[in-house]
Structure 1
């Protein structure tokens, strides 16, 4: 049974994963290279838990118990005794590969190594380790405490034992699992990101305004938010990175990133996190 989990990356995804694990009585080591990010993550988790208390979804006495199960660290060696490590850093392949090399050296040989990657093939990540049978994809959705889905991706060498262990963990976290073959983008982003890219093309080609594109898709297809709003929420740099993985992985022109999306990322218009994307948040 997985009792102790290391989470690498204390951003929005990593802190959300740490929270849901701790709320299911799992000991968590939340790792990041920046002390300020770890402090921000802990404060954010506490705020989320208090919000659940106010909504009647969590007993007030449980807040301290959950926070007590989350230890923050800047030392990778603190994760050595973990049964599972979940990498949730920036969607940059070179960074992820280096982290998996380090995890392979640091964690006990029977530990499972998982990636929260939204598009990079798990087989490629597993190949840099000496335990490819114990490497798997766990793609949580954002925001993690709210969204029910976890995409589980088996690499070419992922063992049935590893898959079953992660399947049981997903159930324990009160999430729903969708299993994907190991191809770029998996299920969600192979469908979602090209839709966002096509919305950017619609804007680029002058078909409609940002507002009308979002209104049409929101009211015409019953989506909770329009694709350009969603792109701003995800981060335009992340959307572009995934489109590039799809384009490079399939060599199909239908995955060509929209020139407007490329230009906006080059300008630093990354969406809500930078204050400006398809919309202005200043």
Structure 2
């Protein structure tokens, strides 16, 4: 199917790169970008069509809404007369389906999604939701786009996207924050910056791979490292006494509430 990206920012570029890496035809992809410099960069980088204004070329097209949330209303209203049977796949954070319907004069074929930063290396996780029943062809097309940047899940309720925003959307920043603190702790113990970076990053990477197939048994993994009376047990006591789990819950709750608030403002 033809894919048209409304906006050529970082996430759109990640999705285009992922699709091309999976041998999607460049001839089937186009980008609508108002910034002339970005337009030229996109065309040169991906060898795809890059235009300043949206014009309908095919009913059988997926329109990827990839502009900033505050730009969404004016953009959709300006092109609503060009939208008929196409599917809209929105990655505009916080913009609800009911708002997209309103701004496109009642258009119904809409899928909301929340990808994350790891899409840049095709290791992202994207949550998808639609109120409509997609036929097999269209569902496969949406999953092909989401699958080009990593894994994906379908949600059964649109309201869960606020939780997704707080977890996988904001989550990379929490991981980077922890890794930065871990490296600083290693340096405080006398390791060089280079030694600390390699030890901490490889420990985190290896541990995440080890946990991947044992997510229901994380406590067993913890126990397997923390032998009775050993060094790990002593370190874990400090994390528990400082209530790391409560701090993480507070962080995700704050992000969740902020997502809801921004959503209500945008809509």
Provide the TM-score with structure 1 as the length reference.
0.55
Partners of 1:179 and 1:241 in 2: CA distance: 21
Are residues 165 and 96 of structure 1, via their aligned partners in 2, closer, same or farther at CA, if it must alter by over 3 Å? farther
Offset at residue 125 of structure 1 (A): 2.4
From 238, 245, 258, give the equivalent of 2:259. 245
In the alignment, structure 1 segments of 5+ residues that lack a partner are 46-66, 204-208, 225-239, 251-282
From 159, 166, 182, give the equivalent of 1:183. 159
Correspondence 1:169 to 2:141: yes
Offset at residue 186 of structure 1 (A): 4.3
Offset at residue 160 of structure 1 (A): 0.4
Are residues 243 and 4 of structure 1, via their aligned partners in 2, closer, same or farther at CA, if it must alter by over 3 Å? same
From 128, 133, 139, give the equivalent of 1:160. 133
Partners of 1:245 and 1:104 in 2: CA distance: 27
From 77, 82, 86, give the equivalent of 1:106. 82
- Who is 2:30 aligned against? 29
- Map 1:1-282; keep pairs closer than 5 Å: 3-22=1-20, 23-25=23-25, 27-45=28-46, 67=47, 70-77=48-55, 79-81=56-58, 83-90=61-68, 92=69, 94-107=70-83, 109-142=84-117, 143-144=119-120, 146-147=122-123, 149-154=125-130, 158-161=131-134, 164-173=136-145, 174-175=147-148, 176-180=151-155, 181-183=157-159, 185-192=161-168, 211-212=180-181, 222=207, 244-247=258-261
Partners of 2:39 and 2:108 in 1: CA distance: 31
Higher relative contact order (CA 8 A, sep 6+): 2
SS for the counterpart of 1:161 is coil
Offset at residue 223 of structure 1 (A): 6.2
The Cα offsets for residues 4-28 of structure 1, whole Å up to 9 and x where unpaired, read as 1210111111122233445322611
Are residues 171 and 85 of structure 1, via their aligned partners in 2, closer, same or farther at CA, if it must alter by over 3 Å? closer
SS for the counterpart of 1:133 is coil
The Cα offsets for residues 49-69 of structure 1, whole Å up to 9 and x where unpaired, read as xxxxxxxxxxxxxxxxxx3xx
In the alignment, structure 2 segments of 5+ residues that lack a partner are 186-199, 210-253
Are residues 184 and 121 of structure 1, via their aligned partners in 2, closer, same or farther at CA, if it must alter by over 3 Å? farther
Are residues 145 and 223 of structure 1, via their aligned partners in 2, closer, same or farther at CA, if it must alter by over 3 Å? closer
Are residues 131 and 192 of structure 1, via their aligned partners in 2, closer, same or farther at CA, if it must alter by over 3 Å? same
Q: Which has the larger Rg?
A: 2
Kept in 1, the 8 Å contact 2:42–2:50? The answer is no
- Who is 1:275 aligned against? none
Partners of 1:220 and 1:14 in 2: CA distance: 28
- Who is 1:235 aligned against? none
SS for the counterpart of 1:178 is strand
Partners of 1:138 and 1:17 in 2: CA distance: 13
How many pairs does the alignment contain?
Answer: 195
Kept in 1, the 8 Å contact 2:114–2:127? The answer is yes
- Who is 1:262 aligned against? none
The Cα offsets for residues 123-172 of structure 1, whole Å up to 9 and x where unpaired, read as 33223223442111133333356135332122xxx32036x444301444
